Amino acid sequence: MEIDSTPGYDDLNVPTHVAIIMDGNGRWAKARGLPRVAGHQRGADSVRVAIESAIKYGVRYLTLYSFSSENWKRPADEVGDLMGLLRRYLRNEINELHQNGVRLRVIGERSDLSSDIVGLIEECEKRTSGNTCLDLIIALSYGGRMEIVNAVKAIVEMSVTGDLSQDQINENLLESYLDTSGIPDPDLLIRTSGEKRISNFLLWQMAYAEFIFLDTLWPDFKEKDFTFAISEFGRRERRFGATD
């Protein structure tokens, strides 16, 4: 992974946190008469493009929606292929990520994952924990509704045991129990493939994110697509509910 240090990006209004729904792998493969796994394999190359582009532009946090809690409903062979790709990614890419100062973090329901994948995740997170160039957050076996439910359960349990009063319950407290605790909310959401929905992704955190929907299928995602999204973000006026 060679990061281009071309000057000129400092003049742009670059978001601190970019989140991406990587959509279109299956359609990309189908259009070429290939099995779906070929689309997922090609999509892994686009992950590298997104990481390199984020570093180049000075984005501090990049969250990728790689596998939703609903994706477990897909055919077993496709889920198996996806888990195999994940294993290879964690084994083969971690050295370059670490060398480029990327900190890897994974959010989602790890209890649904196989023990060897959980072990690889923990190993990668530990190895890169001190890196500060880019936080790469992978949403894996993740669902926004369940994340909120789990946070509420934890708060209710504290309330029942008397460790928490009703007056102490507020937005900041709930955020502290989310998977993304300590991570700023996304400023920009990019979704590829032309679909215009957020698919149970970071429901709480997306309250004031700017949404950009690209017709590009994820395996065809290039730096120019990232550049377009960043430029479009810079043209928008963010008021967070206030007036000028």
CA torsion through residues 91, 127, 64, 106, sign: positive
CA–CA separation, 149 and 156 (whole Å):
10
Nearest residue to 218 (alpha-carbon basis) of 65, 57, 60? 65
Distances (CA, A) of 51 to 73, 207, 231: 28, 24, 17
Cite the active site residues. 23, 71
CA–CA separation, 29 and 26 (whole Å):
5
Q: What stretch of H or E contains 85?
A: helix 76-92
42, two tokens: 């090609």
